[in-house]
A and B are shown apart, each in its own frame.
Chain A
Amino acid sequence: MAARDIHGIDAPWGEFRHVGRKSRKVDGLAKATGAAVYTDDIVLPGMLHAKLLRSTQAHARILAIDVSRARQLPGVLGVITGQDLPAKYGIIPWTQDETALAVSKVRHVGEPVAAVAAVDEDTANAAIKLIRVEYEPLHAYIDPFESLGRHDPPIHEGHKAGNISKHVHLSFGEVDAALSGAEAVVEGDYFFHGTTHAPIEPHCAVARYGAEGVLTVWSSTQITHYVHRTLAHVLGLPAHRIRVIQPCLGGAFGGKSDPFSLEFVTAKLAMLTGRPVKLLYTREEVFYTHRGRHPMHMHYKTAAARDGRLTAVVAKIVIDGGAYSSFGLVTAYYAGQLLTGPYDFPAYRFDSTRVFTNKPACGPKRGHGSVQPRFAFEVQLDELAEKLHLDPIEIRRRNLIGSHATTVNGQRITSNGVAKCLDFVEKESGWASRRGRLGYGRGLGVAASMYISGTNYPIYPNPMPQAAVQLKVDRSGLVTVFSGANDIGQGSNSVAQYLVAEELGLALDQVRVVSADTDLCPVDLGAYSSRETFMVGNALIDACRKIRPMLVQAVATKWNVDASRVRFVDGVVVDLEDSSRTMSAAEAICLAEEKFDTLGATGAYNTPTLGGDYRGGTIGASPAYSFTAHAVEVSVDVETGRITCHNVWIAHDCGRALNPMLVAGQMEGSAYMGVAEALMENHDVHPSGLHKGPSLLDYRIPTSVDTPALHSLIVESLDPEGPYGAKEAGEGPLHPSIPAITNAVFDAVGIRLRHLPFTPGKVLEALRAPGRTAPVGEPVLAAGSR
């Protein structure tokens, strides 16, 4: 870590002018008026439309593909199969097991097998139907436990560990001694089902290959840089002849992190035909593309002393990975590595195994790898509280790790506001007077969590900057930020504007942001691991602090005063000792251009050296962690088994809230998504490998009438290394929603739901289980807000 990477938490000019305010977004009005351009809005002259033929088989060898009839269809200009793009790729350098189109075998229903480019979509669809594929079906693995023990036939030939994608076993502290000496131990099985991102914008790519040999790809990706690298690898083109642009993006949530078939296919077809090519996935294709939350079968054992202090945690996790590796190596680590806060426990052992199955591949979804174990553990904490007759909030308080601490697995915690998060949700939910007192059928539950603000693991190891920006400052009075970061709706371009205006003392409209264009912007690693505010923010401050002294010095020279008297405020420069003397920032920039030549600066950020000194010790190591606590209020209809979530109180420690409105939006969006995963959503496939409901009607995401009242409570712990103290807000606030619902249902009706999703059938089954003592069939309190 260089000195450039820590900039302090204070306002650069004494008091914040933009930071902490509910400012508008840089692209809000463009989106509001329909002017914002998303990938599918791009139409190029002579553009062709591509379509994919997808596998009907879950696991099969491809014996033959006959594309001759498709080629002969009038209007068809290009047909390709796996042989045209045989290079293997994958987001993790050590697990490259994907191809753009299937080569020699298919591994899940819906896997792309062939592609067609035609003059219009109808012709492309007609041509796809003319392609004949001869398959030799192979045994399909649908149950992950079968993949654990059976390796013939293998899903990936030549994979050393058979059908096991990744196995991680790590142990810290004296686990067995702690278990045998514990006063209370709880042990149980938990299941987290599959869920998917369901962004409203389907994946789309447009490619153009110019006669000069430059390939341009516009893609709805959340990581431009990895698409750029992977295109170069798969197409065999030097990276400098490829330009990747992310237009406005219609939601991602992790689901647009991998390079996907459509980027390679449009590029290849554009190169073959000499015409631009667009490919827009249908909604059904988006479901089969997936990369969503991994189903996890989890066994947890937690031990504690009589006072509730945790003494040991043991976890064994089987992860259903689907057909490809994707980010799975990281998932297998995150499933264990990210559990070691906000609670302190001296002994921890986890064993996680990700297996391949013949289903659409899983990948990173909001809270990657850590939402599932968090569910299991936070439910188990409640079970422990019950056993020890402790209040669920109290048992959490007794175990908090605090700030500036080191976790059992060697992660460095800096700022930590979780205690205040618990205080907030306790107070706002009326916990003390309402929990256990709402009558049969209604209850309150709590859970807490921790998540990374970026990671020091840059996917492909390299010593170059993880985040980088460039500033152009010119006499018009405009500062242009060139940022390789991906604004996927979370507002990273807006945050860039706020920070630069703050640092340079400009008005917001004097800063514009150009982002995610590999020709124009320095390399940034993109929108994943909740890294952008933290890392890009620090890079921006680094760049501004190279420009600011030049602007100040130019004015000081002109006024013949000491530089300490020059202050930039919202685009006006004032002399602090003679406030009648002012000039505009644009005039100041002219003076600086005169004095120092054309103005510009780069800024960069790298994480400090972090993590435990063991294999995998850097995975999950973050320069800062965010913290969250939720209280939720539910009612359970004991006649129908239906759970209704009425209120979610979301307290989240995001460090400094650079824009509280955007932070609240992330908190509300996260919590709503968590509630939906618990109660409504289920991504699953039939034994045949067919998706059970690949539409937004069958895969139920909440509408405006399904969504509970969401109460955002921002906690600002001011992180010493974040930009002005900021940390992440986009993923952490999802985690506690799901276990808090289980815990609230326990308060409501005395059943403990350990298997997601919480369908009415499971609720009724639990309510009718033999030996249950809680009353069944009593009147249910009326639904509705309190």
Chain B
Amino acid sequence: MQLTVNGDVHEVDAPDHWTLLEVLRYRLGLTGSKQGCDKGDCGACTVLVDGEPMISCLMLAREAEGRAVTTIEGLMPAHLAAGGSGADPVQDAFDKCGALQCGFCQSGTMLSARALLNKTPNPTEAEIRSALAGNLCRCTGYTQIFEAVLLAAVTARKENA
């Protein structure tokens, strides 16, 4: 099958029943997407498919053919290519606010946050809570995640100004 991931086109040979998560992790070596439950409960494997957050362990890899997949590894290169410096503002804010304790769930959470900010550059806390409701975090109690998304929104607005 042919997959477009973070702008790169890959020819991938994998069993038909493999999920997008399995292909990303074990064929393409993009291990930033994590497997926490393998059944759609935790959201750690969230990636963007055509800009929408999707649970990649519930999606067959074949379903992603012809669509643009973005993983956590794709955010910083895209930010640099767009003229920014360093990591994506969402990634930088998660680091700056202490939102990355174990970090295992956060690639999914950051991609959900990125999708939110793409559509809603000035989110309220309620909108943030709602957008991240599919991404379980066991470390933080979410408070520093909310702070990080608000900070990322401010940073992105400054960058775009």
Binding site for B on A (CB under 8 A): 22, 24-25, 27-29, 31-38, 40-41, 43, 122, 197-202, 248-253, 280, 282-283, 488-491, 661-662, 664-665, 668-673, 695-697, 701-705, 707, 710, 712
Given A43-B26, A701-B136, A704-B133, check contact A202 B103 (CB 8 Å). no
CB distance from A350 to the nearest CB of B (A): 32
Contact B129 A24 (CB under 8 A): no
Contact B103 A250 (CB under 8 A): yes
Choose from B25, B38, B95 the contact partner of A282 (Cβ within 8 Å): B38
Choose from A488, A668, A705 the contact partner of B144 (Cβ within 8 Å): A668
Contact B26 A201 (CB under 8 A): no
- Cα distance A200–B43 in the bound complex, in angstroms: 10
Instruction: Say whether B15 faces chain A, with CB atoms less than 8 Å apart.
Output: yes
- Cα distance A41–B29 in the bound complex, in angstroms: 8
Instruction: Say whether B54 faces chain A, with CB atoms less than 8 Å apart.
Output: no
Instruction: Say whether B19 faces chain A, with CB atoms less than 8 Å apart.
Output: no
Contact A200 B141 (CB under 8 A): no
Residues from chain B with a CB closer than 8 A to the CB of A489 are: 101-104, 139
Instruction: Say whether B98 faces chain A, with CB atoms less than 8 Å apart.
Output: yes
- 12 new A-B contacts, CB < 8 A, other than A25-B100, A669-B141, A704-B132, are A33-B72, A34-B31, A34-B33, A199-B104, A200-B138, A661-B98, A668-B141, A668-B143, A695-B39, A696-B42, A697-B41, A704-B137
CB distance from B32 to the nearest CB of A (A): 2
17 contacts between A and B (CB under 8 A): A27-B100, A28-B96, A29-B92, A32-B110, A33-B75, A250-B36, A250-B102, A283-B39, A489-B101, A661-B98, A669-B138, A672-B141, A696-B41, A696-B136, A697-B41, A705-B133, A712-B143
- Cα distance A712–B15 in the bound complex, in angstroms: 49
- Cα distance A31–B95 in the bound complex, in angstroms: 8
Given A201-B104, A250-B104, A662-B98, check contact A710 B34 (CB 8 Å). no
Per-position 1/0 for B22-66, Cβ under 8 A of A: 000110011111111111011010000000000000000000000
- Cα distance A38–B75 in the bound complex, in angstroms: 20
Contact A251 B32 (CB under 8 A): no
Among B32, B87, B128, find the residue whose CB has the most chain A CB atoms closer than 10 A.
Answer: B32
Residues from chain A with a CB closer than 8 A to the CB of B101 are: 251, 489-491, 665, 669
CB distance from B146 to the nearest CB of A (A): 8
Closest residue of chain B to A699, judged by CB? B41
Contact A251 B102 (CB under 8 A): yes
Contact B39 A33 (CB under 8 A): no
Binding site for A on B (CB under 8 A): 15, 25-26, 29-39, 41-42, 44, 71-73, 75-76, 87, 91-92, 94-98, 100-107, 110, 128-130, 132-146
CB distance from A269 to the nearest CB of B (A): 19
Choose from B37, B106, B138 the contact partner of A283 (Cβ within 8 Å): B37
- Cα distance A491–B137 in the bound complex, in angstroms: 16
Chain A residues touching B, majority SS: loop
CB distance from A346 to the nearest CB of B (A): 38
Residues from chain B with a CB closer than 8 A to the CB of A665 are: 98, 101, 139-140, 144
Contact A32 B95 (CB under 8 A): yes
Contact A34 B97 (CB under 8 A): no
- Cα distance A743–B139 in the bound complex, in angstroms: 26
CB distance from B5 to the nearest CB of A (A): 12
Closest residue of chain B to A663, judged by CB? B98
Contact A40 B35 (CB under 8 A): yes
Contact B37 A31 (CB under 8 A): no
Residues from chain B with a CB closer than 8 A to the CB of A202 are: 35-36
Contact A695 B98 (CB under 8 A): no
- Cα distance A200–B140 in the bound complex, in angstroms: 12
Closest residue of chain B to A648, judged by CB? B141
CB distance from A266 to the nearest CB of B (A): 17
Choose from A32, A198, A248, A280 the contact partner of B91 (Cβ within 8 Å): A32
Choose from B29, B42, B107, B139 the contact partner of A669 (Cβ within 8 Å): B139
Among A28, A29, A697, find the residue whose CB has the most chain B CB atoms closer than 10 A.
Answer: A28
- Cα distance A27–B132 in the bound complex, in angstroms: 23
Contact A38 B91 (CB under 8 A): no
Contact B102 A200 (CB under 8 A): yes
Contact A32 B15 (CB under 8 A): no
Contact B103 A36 (CB under 8 A): yes
- Cα distance A406–B56 in the bound complex, in angstroms: 55
Contact B102 A34 (CB under 8 A): no
Given A43-B26, A489-B103, check contact A33 B31 (CB 8 Å). no
Residues from chain A with a CB closer than 8 A to the CB of B33 are: 34
Closest residue of chain A to B90, judged by CB? A32
Closest residue of chain B to A250, judged by CB? B104
Choose from B98, B106, B130 the contact partner of A22 (Cβ within 8 Å): B98
Given A664-B98, A704-B145, A705-B129, check contact A34 B140 (CB 8 Å). no
Residues from chain A with a CB closer than 8 A to the CB of B104 are: 38, 199-201, 250-251, 489
Given A282-B38, A696-B136, A697-B41, check contact A25 B98 (CB 8 Å). yes
CB distance from A252 to the nearest CB of B (A): 8
Contact A200 B136 (CB under 8 A): yes
Contact B41 A34 (CB under 8 A): no
Choose from B26, B94, B102 the contact partner of A32 (Cβ within 8 Å): B94
Choose from A41, A669, A697 the contact partner of B140 (Cβ within 8 Å): A669
Contact A34 B138 (CB under 8 A): no
- Cα distance A668–B102 in the bound complex, in angstroms: 14
Residues from chain B with a CB closer than 8 A to the CB of A35 are: 32, 73
Contact A34 B100 (CB under 8 A): no
Closest residue of chain A to B40, judged by CB? A697
Residues from chain A with a CB closer than 8 A to the CB of B110 are: 32
Contact B133 A250 (CB under 8 A): no
